[in-house]
Amino acid sequence: MSIEAGVLYIVATPIGNLGDLSPRAVETLHQVDRIAAEDTRHSAGLLRHFSIDTPLVALHEHNEREKSAVLLQRLSKGESIALISDAGTPLISDPGYVLVRDAQEADIRVVPIPGPSALIAALSASGLPTDRFCFEGFLPAKSGNRRKQLESLCDEPRTLVFYESPHRIVESLVAMVSVFGSGREAVLARELTKTFETIRHATLGELAQWVVDDANQQKGEFVVLLRGTPAVAEEEDREGQRIAELLAEELPLKQAAALAARISGGRKNALYQHLLQKKQP
């Protein structure tokens, strides 16, 4: 392949197994004028393994706005640049959004070089529905914000996918059990493509207890997947709506929706939205 001048290449790199770097990615990294890397020290090892000596520049969450402007100038002058993250596909819970957005706005061509992604790898092996899914990335570090985000997903019917780090995996799993219940079908994918790769399918409560009891399962990088909320039958939806409408004659809409959900087993958020629509002239 031939590298084009003034093009930004988004290059996926291995999430563990170096054999997953595609020949096209290797050739691209060899031929571009410069590589923008999330952590140049980390990426230097990968590049040495493939005998790539292309100059590196750091582009991470703390300098992205400043560095993006510099890289755009280089691109506009005809340099070809590859963007990589520490592992996997750039921009997926990693830096790069500002650079790509600004490049698009400046009519600079952006070319993806696809490859590994922990999100897709975990989803493909999970055994959970893959036709529709909702990727939430990393949950907030603070417990209150974490719980609030999880609660906002209580009625989500799609498969839920989260990333998590080793120092927060126990707290996050415990919070998920509290919000979604211990019986929710779940999968924990750890250290994908690496020596200690683990993909465990169980209930959410069982997974949380397993990780709490085994310190070895608290190491590495994680993808947590949950089956979405089961769809409520259409007739149950209608019954919940009927109850909510009656209650809304005497109660505030949110209170009516919450009480109707408890009575009918319906989804509180869906019932509240129904009441809002009914209220509109």
- Measured CA to CA, the distance from residue 85 to residue 88 in angstroms comes to 7
pLDDT digit string, tens, across residues 80-92 = 999 999 999 999 9
pLDDT digit string, tens, across residues 201-228 = 999 999 999 999 999 999 999 999 999 9
Band of pLDDT at residue 116, cut at 50, 70 and 90: very high
- Cβ burial of 231 (10 Å; 0-12, 13-18, 19+) is exposed
Do residues 70 and 42 make contact, with C-beta atoms less than 8 angstroms apart? no
The phi and psi torsions of 130 (rounded to 5 degrees) equal -115, -5
Residues of the chain with pLDDT > 70, as a percent, come to 97
pTM, two decimal places: 0.80
What pLDDT, on the 0 to 100 scale, is given for residue 75?
A: 98
What pLDDT, on the 0 to 100 scale, is given for residue 231?
A: 64
Q: What is the rounded average pLDDT of the residues 188-205?
A: 96
Helices (H), 37-140: 40-49, 64-76, 97-105, 118-126
- Measured CA to CA, the distance from residue 172 to residue 167 in angstroms comes to 10
**Where is pLDDT greater, at 155 or 160?**
160
CATH number, domain 119-226, options 3.40.50.450, 1.10.30.50, 3.40.190.10, 3.30.950.10? 3.30.950.10
Least confident interval from 22-31, 90-99, 110-119, 267-276: 267-276
Residues of the chain with pLDDT > 90, as a percent, come to 83
What pLDDT, on the 0 to 100 scale, is given for residue 235?
A: 56
Q: Is the pLDDT of residue 60 over 70?
A: yes
Superfamily designation of domain 8-116 = Tetrapyrrole methylase, N-terminal domain (3.40.1010.10)
Q: Is the pLDDT of residue 262 over 90?
A: no
Sequence-distant (≥ 6) Cβ neighbours of residue 64 within 8 angstroms: 95, 96, 97, 98, 99
What pLDDT, on the 0 to 100 scale, is given for residue 124?
A: 98
**Average pLDDT of the chain?**
93
What pLDDT, on the 0 to 100 scale, is given for residue 83?
A: 98
Q: What is the rounded average pLDDT of the residues 121-149?
A: 96
Do residues 39 and 131 make contact, with C-beta atoms less than 8 angstroms apart? no
Q: Is the pLDDT of residue 6 over 90?
A: yes
Band of pLDDT at residue 264, cut at 50, 70 and 90: confident
